[in-house]
Amino acid sequence: MSLPRQPFDFFTHGELPTPAMAPTEVAEVLTTLGITGELSALGSQQDQNFLVTGPAGAFGVLKLANPAFPEADTLAQDAAADRVAAAYPQLRLAQVLRRDGAAVRTVVETSQGQLVARMLNFLPGGTFTRTRWLSPAVASRMGRIAAQVSLSLDGFDHRGLERRLQWDLRTAGAVVELLAPSISDLGEREQVRAAATAAWAALSQVSAELPVQAGHFDLTDDNLIRGADGLPDAVIDFGDVSTSWRVAELAVTLSGLLHHTGPVIETMLAAVRGFQELRPLTEAEATALWPLVVLRGAVLVASGRQQAELDADNAYARAALDREWRIFVAATSLPMPVMTAIIRSGLGLATSLAPATGLRVVAEPPKLIDLGVTADATNDGAWLRPGLAARTAASWEFVAAPWGVPRLSESAVLRPTAPATVPTSITMWAHSPVTLLAPWSGAVQLAEGLLMLPGPTHTLVLHGLSPDSLVGGSADTVAAGTPLGTLTGRGEIQLLAAGIEAVPLLVPADQAPGWLALTADPACLLGIPATMPTASPSVLLQERDSHVAEVQEHYYLDPPQIERGWRTHLVDTGARAYLDMVNNVTSVGHAHPRITAAVSAQLARLNTNSRFHYAALPKFAEALAATLPDQLDQVFLVNSGSEATDLAIRLAMAATGRRDIIALAEAYHGWTYASDAVSTSVADNPNALATRPDWVHTVEAPNSYRGRWRDAEAWRYGPQAAERIHELAASGHAPAGFIAESISGNAGGIVLPDGYLGEVYAAVREVGGVAIADEVQVGYGRLGDWFWGFQQQGVVPDIVAVAKSMGNGHPLGAVITTRAVAQSYRAGGYFFSSTGGSPVSATVGLTVLDIIRDEGLQANARVVGAQLRAGLMALADRHDCVGTVHGHGLYLGLELVTDRAARTPDAPLTRDLCERLRQLGVIMQPTGDHGNVLKIKPPLVVSSAEADYFVTMVDQALVELR
């Protein structure tokens, strides 16, 4: 049987079993191609593929094309791959191997008939199919690659493109009809048929306007390969190269995202935007996209079932069945118009429904109340006490809460998915009966608990009217302006687009652009102001990028916009609450009412510079000194950690008359000149080690987990540092001082080896220098067993620098030292920091200390910290990637590795874990010079249940990320 000459046509050809050549025959083909190597079978739905391995590992893929395809088809595929490779040299492509300039390919006679055999290069890295969770960054890169392939194949013309495959979405409706009988479950078959029919109908509205071109049309998670940074950078399998709608390239990529876990909308939009940046969609393409995804899902299910039927031995096809079904289910889990509106809104295209025009439905407008994220009514944690909406509404006779504004009253904490917070209705509370009138004439429909009145452009839906007050039975016709019924208590008014039957009253924020597009704001029917559109977090981010210097980085690629905090919770503009596990600045919890009250009262009375004489400053200085050993009784008040460490360094220089300073490697101490000079972390500044001024000398980071001396050998760091200090002194660089965090906070909460600070402080003092403890991160009760980090080491420094937690977010820092050191500053003039210790700052500082004492927060850090540590340690039993748990109390670090024995840092996993935790409702960030440690330092008020939630989410995410 010779190769066909006519283009392949799925509709006339029908069944397409994969070639099934025996191993010996395949080996012969390999020899014919002039290649030697070991063969191992790879899966394929239509061809027969083998990995070819030589002494140096896998080097190629032997591809035996299905004999149903003419030779021109494989030539077109190879030409397409070459074309993309030429256009985007940074992409790796599965191209046909060349020997002496000639392609390694041939037409061979086989037991399966004549077929094309060729060798492609092998691309290591693996596909994304088996990874349960895909990060938005991966999805975005997939969309970008789809755009690059689409751009490079634009204008590509080849005889081998004339084929008609079942994957051409231009014939998807017919393909589903043809193959649906292979779906044995009748319910599922009907579901697939109905979805395909609806998608086809939606598509028909715009299909004439869709551009057509050549494409890969199979750029799924199975055909994109992982690069060194964890993101896709390679494309394989050009087997479906053909001509179709241009936007189908993206639709196919999106379909490949849908069987993974994680929030579908976020992942999908990341891919759409990745595509859009290089290859903007037309209006028609944006409208066609989701119907195409649904059709792709339907074709996948139907084709998969058929393939499994006729090719019972094809394990590859069988394994795909479940995945294909999940894709279809995800594609149809929200109504198509909702997904289309979400896509359009994500691309900045118009989605809104025209407002309804009709008569007022009430004689007197209601009072409008705010239940949103920034509403005062939700302050002081009121949003977490049940009944907020009713409590807020209770003060007026007739009250309404707006349409489309996320309600904090509907939020919830410790939830792995976003709660439904966005109303698609206006909620009304009538404390005495209010008659609602028909805004237009029409036939009333009564359904369970609600009344519907279709009008010329919209359908009015009223929930909660008193049943005995409603206009007569179903299908009654009412005249505009006549009563529909009476509201007593709580009710809802909704305006649906004509033809839409129902929209949930509350939807999650990511779905809101989709559902809201099917409804209109009913405000005009009530005579109240309409909801004004607000800038989305991403638009605000663009504004930030245009005015805030880019080097001032922000957390996350696509950060939630956080506008409220309460205790350990941070709330975004969609009213989603996140557990804040990273915030050591707000030590006593976000928005602590005692601080609000004390600061408000102080601001209302007096705030001025610290050269005036007022009570708050001496009281705070005294309280602060009382937390420290007796000799440390002289306090300088400043505004930040950088100022505190800078001043500490200058005090050391003043006290000794020297200028050399010794610092630890991997440290961060601030951004001012002197504090930056001693900052050696390459995570904060990749050039740090090469660019320190000559007066800064570093000693090795005493990291007992991954440093030079590990575990039982870690005691060596102390003597080594002491020796270095003596050497420096001997060489004429006797140091003014030694500065270090008392626990290496920025390195990941790494506890110093026992006795380390004792040895180093002794050495530095022996040569006439002073010891500076940077307690900006680890001090102030966080360690639980000790108020100050240096107490863990049993030492007393000469100078202590502190900030962050002492102000609970208010700019406040301090240096505390001995009288002798403080006096030495005089030589350089007097000290003045205008707002350091201002009446408000000193009040904040005092209040924070009071709260830590009154609420027993140091003890909480000890108890919950121990529980958290134990929970994280237990994760090591289940996940090989957990290297170790650093830290103490509520300053912990979870270190992630690719190989536990070699302790190889895993930064990509750590980065992905933080992204996934955000989706699961937890704020967490990586730290350390290798970016592979979770910095766990929540507000000290964190509860045992919250600690458990964190551990559970890390556990879940690590399962999903593997």
Binding map of ligand PMP across residues 381-410, x = CB under 6 A, - = no contact = ------------------------------
Q: In the bound complex, what is the minimum distance in angstroms from residue 429's beta carbon to ligand PMP? A: 46
SS3 724: helix
Residue with smaller CB distance to ligand PMP, 574 or 745: 745
Rounded Cα distance between 137 and 96, Å, is 30
Of 389 and 842, CB closest to ligand PMP: 842
We find the least distance from the C-beta atom of residue 817 to ligand PMP, in angstroms, to be 16
Question: Applying CB under 6 A, does 746 fall inside the site for ligand PMP?
Answer: yes
Closest by Cα among 446, 441, 476 to 462: 446
- Least distance (Å) between residue 572 CB and ligand PMP: 24
C-beta of 746: minimal distance to ligand PMP in Å?
A: 5
Question: Which of these segments, 17-25, 351-359, 444-452, 663-671, binds ligand PMP (CB under 6 A)?
Answer: 663-671
Give the nearest distance from C-beta 553 to ligand PMP in angstroms.
13
Nearer to ligand PMP, 560 or 809 (CB): 809
Contact between 946 and ligand PMP per CB under 6 A: no
Distance, in Å, from the CA atom of 960 to the CA atom of 876, rounded to the nearest integer, reads: 16
| Cβ(172)–Cβ(200) below 8 Å | yes
Cβ of residue 638: shortest distance to ligand PMP, in angstroms?
9
**Residue nearer to ligand PMP on the CB measure, 345 or 925:** 925
| Distance in Å, CB of 380 to ligand PMP, minimum | 27
Q: Does 738 bind ligand PMP (CB under 6 A)?
A: no
Q: In this complex, which beta carbon is closest to ligand PMP, that of residue 641 or of residue 905?
A: 641
Among 745, 748, 784, 905, contact with ligand PMP (rule: CB under 6 A): 745
Backbone angles phi, psi at 920, to 5 degrees: -90, 10
669 binds ligand PMP (CB under 6 A): yes
Answer for which of 78, 741, 906, 929 binds ligand PMP (CB under 6 A) is 741
Residue whose token pair is 């000890």: 862
Size of the site for ligand PMP (CB under 6 A): 15
**Window contacting ligand PMP (CB under 6 A); options: 539-547, 556-564, 614-622, 639-647:** 639-647
Smallest distance, ligand PMP to C-beta of residue 642, A: 3
Q: Which is nearer to ligand PMP, 95 or 586 (CB)?
A: 586
671 to each of 679, 770, 832, how far by Cα in Å?
Answer: 8, 22, 20
Interaction mask 670-709, ligand PMP, x per CB under 6 A: x---------------------------------------
- Per the structure block, which two tokens stand in for 299? 């074709």
Rounded least distance, CB 679 to ligand PMP, Å: 8
Among the listed ranges 225-233, 432-440, 627-635, 739-747, the one in contact with ligand PMP (CB under 6 A) is 739-747
Q: Please report how close the Cβ of residue 804 comes to ligand PMP at its closest, in angstroms.
A: 6
Q: Retrieve residue 230's tokens.
A: 């964890």
Q: How far is the CB of 641 from ligand PMP (least distance, A)?
A: 2
Least Å from the CB of residue 813 to ligand PMP: 6
Please report how close the Cβ of residue 596 comes to ligand PMP at its closest, in angstroms.
22
749 binds ligand PMP (CB under 6 A): no
The Cα 63–Cα 60 span in angstroms is 9
Question: Does residue 240 touch ligand PMP according to CB under 6 A?
Answer: no
Give the CB-side neighbour count of residue 853, counting CA atoms within 13 A.
10
Q: How far apart are CA 281 and CA 347, in angstroms?
A: 9
Which C-beta is closer to ligand PMP: that of 285 or that of 741? 741
Integer Cα distance of 567 and 554 in angstroms: 22
925 binding ligand PMP? (CB under 6 A): no
Spatial contact of 116 and 107, defined as CB atoms under 8 Å apart: yes
State the minimum distance, in angstroms, from the CB of residue 927 to ligand PMP.
10
Task: Judge whether 773 and 799 are in contact, CB under 8 Å.
Answer: yes
Q: Where are the beta strands (DSSP E) in 359-423?
A: 367-368, 398-401, 420-423
Nearest CB to ligand PMP, comparing residues 494 and 645: 645
Q: Which of positions 614-633 make contact with ligand PMP (CB under 6 A)?
A: none
Which is nearer to ligand PMP, 213 or 642 (by Cβ)?
A: 642
Structure token pair of residue 545: 């990028």
Using the rule CB under 6 A, which residue among 46, 127, 171, 645 binds ligand PMP? 645
Q: Find out whether 941 and 855 touch, Cβ atoms under 8 Å.
A: yes
Cβ partners under 8 Å of residue 909, min gap 6: 881, 896, 898, 932, 961
Three-state DSSP class for residue 843: helix
Taking the least distance from each CB to ligand PMP, the nearer of 669 and 886 is 669
Using the minimum distance from each CB to ligand PMP, give the nearer residue, 458 or 669.
Answer: 669
Residue 227's CB is within 10 A of a number of other CB atoms, namely 17
Q: Are 153 and 243 in contact, with CB atoms under 8 Å apart?
A: no
Helices (H), 407-565: 512-516, 523-526, 537-547
Residue of 133, 200, 328, 668 that binds ligand PMP (CB under 6 A): 668
Stretch that binds ligand PMP, among 473-481, 508-516, 738-746, 856-864 (CB under 6 A): 738-746
- The contacts found for 762-765 with CB under 8 angstroms, 24 or more apart, are 762/722, 763/721, 763/722, 763/725, 763/726, 764/662, 764/725, 764/735, 764/737, 764/738
The SS3 assignment for 313 reads coil
Footprint of ligand PMP on residues 434-453 (CB under 6 A)? none
3-state secondary structure of 36: coil
The nearer residue to ligand PMP, 404 or 749, going by C-beta atoms, is 749
Q: How far is the CB of 670 from ligand PMP (least distance, A)?
A: 4
- Beta carbon nearer to ligand PMP, 146 or 840: 840
Of residues 276, 640, 847, 858, which one binds ligand PMP by CB under 6 A?
640
Residue 605 CA to residue 561 CA, distance in Å, equals 33
Going by their DSSP bridges, the two strands 38-42 and 48-54 should be labelled as antiparallel
Residue 573: CB minimum distance to ligand PMP, A = 26
Q: How far is CA 556 from CA 226, 260, 263, 707, 926, in A?
A: 21, 21, 16, 29, 11
In the set 641, 737, 748, 921, which binds ligand PMP (CB under 6 A)?
Answer: 641
Measured in Å, how far apart are the chain's first and last C-alpha atoms? 46
* Cα–Cα distance, 868 to 331 (Å, whole number): 39
CB of 786: closest distance to ligand PMP in angstroms? 16
Residue whose CB is nearest to ligand PMP in the complex, by number? 641
46: its two tokens: 């239509």
Per CB under 6 A, contacts with ligand PMP among 124-183 are none
Residues 755-814 that bind ligand PMP (CB under 6 A): 774, 776-777, 803-804
Q: Among the candidate windows 368-376, 479-487, 636-644, 953-961, which touches ligand PMP by CB under 6 A? A: 636-644
Q: In what order do the strands lie in the sheet with 696-699?
A: 634-638, 813-817, 799-802, 770-774, 737-741, 661-664, 696-699
Question: What is the C-alpha separation between 526 and 125, in angstroms, rounded?
Answer: 60
**Span from 30-38, 351-359, 532-540, 741-749 in contact with ligand PMP (CB under 6 A):** 741-749
Residue 436 neighbours by CB distance under 10 Å: 26
- Tell me the C-alpha distance between 121 and 52, whole Å: 10
Q: Which residues bind ligand PMP (CB under 6 A)?
A: 640-642, 645, 668-670, 741, 745-746, 774, 776-777, 803-804
